[in-house]
A and B are shown apart, each in its own frame.
Chain A
Amino acid sequence: MRLTIPEREIMTPGHLACQGCGGSLAMRYALKVFGKDTMLSIPACCWAVIDGAFPYTAVNVPLFHTAFETAAIMASGIKAGLMVQGKDTTNVVAWAGDGGTFDIGIQALSGAAERNDDITYIVYDNEAYMNTGIQRSSATPEGAWTTTTPVKHYKKGPKKNIVEIMAAHRIPYAATASVGYPEDFCKKLEKAKNTRGFKFIHVLAPCPTGWKSDPRYTIKLAKLAVQTNSFPLYEITDGIHYKQSIKVKERKSIKEYFKYQGRFKHLHEDEVQHLQNFIDENYALLEMKLE
Chain B
Amino acid sequence: MKKTMMGNFAASWGAQLSRVQVIAAYPITPQTLIVEKLSEIVADGELDAKFIKVESEHSAMAACIGASATGARAYTATSAQGLALMHEMLHWAGLARLPIVMTNVNRAMAPGWSIWADQNDSLSQRDTGWMQIYASSAQDILDSTIIGYKVSEQVLLPTLISFDAFFLSHTVEVVDMPDIELVDKYLPPYNPEYKLDVKDPRSFGALTAEEYYYEFRYKMQEAMDKAVDVIKEAGKEYEKLTGRAYKLVHPYRCEDADLILVTSGTIAETTNVAVDELRAEGKKVGNLRIRVIRPYPKKEILEVIKGVKKLAVIDRNISPGYSGIFSQELKSALYNEVNIPVRSYIAGLGGRDVKIQDIKDMANDALKNDSPNDLIWKGVKL
The chain B residue sitting closest to A40, CB to CB, is B203
Give the nearest-CB partner of B53 in chain A: A115
B104 to A: closest C-beta gap in Å: 19
Let me know if B197 is at the binding interface, CB within 8 A.
yes
Residues A57 and B202 in contact in the complex (CB < 8 Å), given A80-B50, A111-B54: yes
Interface pair B201/A64, CB less than 8 Å apart: no
| Known contacts A51-B206, A66-B205, A115-B53, A81 near B70 by CB under 8 Å | yes
Question: Max chain A CB contacts within 10 Å: which of B66, B92, B208?
Answer: B66
Cβ < 8 Å to B, chain A residues 40-80: 41, 48-49, 51-57, 59-67, 69-70, 73-80
- Residue A85 at the chain B interface, CB threshold 8 Å: yes
B376 to chain A, nearest CB (A): 41
Are B198 and A37 in contact, with the CB atoms below 8 A?
A: yes
- For window 104-139 of B, CB contacts with A under 8 Å fall at none
Residue of B nearest to A65 (CB): B205
**A244 at interface, CB cutoff 8 A:** no
B62 near A74 with CB under 8 A, answer: yes
Chain B residues lying within 8 Å of A39, measured Cβ to Cβ, are 196, 198
- State whether A70 and B206 are in contact (beta carbons under 8 Å apart), knowing that A62-B197, A90-B198 are contacts in the complex: no
Complex Cα distance A69/B55, Å? 13
Within 8 A of B (CB), among A73-108: 73-85, 87, 90, 107-108
Q: Is A276 an interface residue (CB 8 A)?
A: no
Is there contact, CB below 8 Å, between A108 and B71? no
A60 close to B48 (CB less than 8 A):
no
Closest Cβ of chain B: how far from A81's Cβ, in Å? Answer: 3
Q: Which residues of A contact B66 (CB under 8 A)?
A: 41, 64, 66, 73-81
Q: Which residue of B lies closest to A89 (CB)?
A: B198
Most B CB within 10 A of own CB, among A51, A59, A74, A83? A74
Question: Quick one: which of A112-164 are within 8 Å of B by CB?
Answer: 114-115, 117
Given A78-B67, A81-B74, A83-B50 in contact, is the A66-B22 Cβ separation under 8 Å?
Answer: no
Decide: A77 and B203 in contact? CB cutoff 8 A.
Answer: no
Given A75-B66, A81-B22, A81-B67 in contact, is the A64-B204 Cβ separation under 8 Å? yes
- In the bound complex, how far is the Cα of B201 from the Cα of A61, in angstroms? 5
Contact residues, B168-198 vs A (CB, 8 A): 196-198
> Nearest chain B CB to A97's CB is how many angstroms away?
15
In angstroms, Cα B201 to Cα A117, docked, is 23
State the CA gap A67–B49 with chains docked (Å): 25
The answer to whether A53 and B48 have CB atoms under 8 Å apart is: no
Contact B207 A82 (CB under 8 A): no
> Which chain A residues lie closer than 8 Å to B71 at the CB level?
81, 85
> Would you call A241 an interface residue if the criterion is a C-beta within 8 Å of the partner chain's C-beta atoms?
no
B262 at the interface (CB under 8 A from A): no
- Of B59, B62, B89, the most chain A CB neighbours within 10 A belong to B62
**B197–A80 contact, CB under 8 A?**
no
- Residues of B22-76 whose CB lies within 8 A of A: 22, 24, 48-50, 52-56, 58-59, 62-72, 74
Q: How long is the Cα–Cα vector from A52 to B207 in the complex, in angstroms?
A: 7
Residue A261 CB within 8 A of the other chain: no
Q: What's the Cα separation between A111 and B25 when bound, in Å?
A: 13
- Chain A nearest CB: distance from B77 CB in Å? 16
- Chain B residue with Cβ nearest A62: B196
* A110 interfacial by beta-carbon distance below 8 Å: yes
Which listed residue, A57, A60, A77, touches B24 by the CB 8 Å rule?
Answer: A77
Confirm or deny: A247 has a beta carbon within 8 angstroms of a beta carbon on chain B: no
Say yes or no: is B209 at the interface (Cβ < 8 Å to chain A). Answer: yes
Q: Across the interface, do B22 and A110 meet the contact criterion of CB distance under 8 Å?
A: no
B202 contacts A81, C-beta separation under 8 Å: no
A85/B206 contact (C-beta < 8 A), A73-B54, A77-B52 known: no
Are A67 and B62 in contact, with the CB atoms below 8 A?
A: yes
Docked pose: A75 CA to B59 CA in angstroms: 11
Chain A min CB distance to B82 (Å): 14
User: Which A-chain residue is minimally distant from B72 (CB atoms)?
Assistant: A81
A57 to B72, CA, bound (A): 24
User: Assuming A76-B63, A80-B50, A81-B70, is B22 touching A65 (CB within 8 A)?
Assistant: no
User: A69 CA to B62 CA in the complex, in Å?
Assistant: 10
Whether A84 and B62, one on each chain, are in contact in the complex, defined by CB atoms closer than 8 angstroms, is no
Does A196 have its Cβ within 8 Å of any Cβ on chain B? no
Chain B min CB distance to A224 (Å): 33
Task: Return the contact of B62 from the options A37, A53, A66, A110 (Cβ within 8 A).
Answer: A66
Q: Which residues of A contact B68 (CB under 8 A)?
A: 81
Whether the Cβ atoms of A70 and B89 lie closer than 8 Å is yes
Q: Is the CB of B22 within 8 A of A64?
A: no
Q: Residues of A contacting B8 with CB < 8 Å?
A: none
Binding site for B on A (CB under 8 A): 36-39, 41, 48-49, 51-57, 59-67, 69-70, 73-85, 87, 90, 107-108, 110-111, 114-115, 117
The 8 closest A-B pairs by CB, nearest first: A77-B66, A111-B55, A81-B70, A77-B63, A81-B67, A57-B203, A81-B72, A65-B205
10 pairs, A vs B, C-beta closer than 8 Å: A59-B203, A62-B202, A62-B203, A66-B62, A66-B205, A77-B74, A79-B66, A80-B67, A108-B55, A115-B52
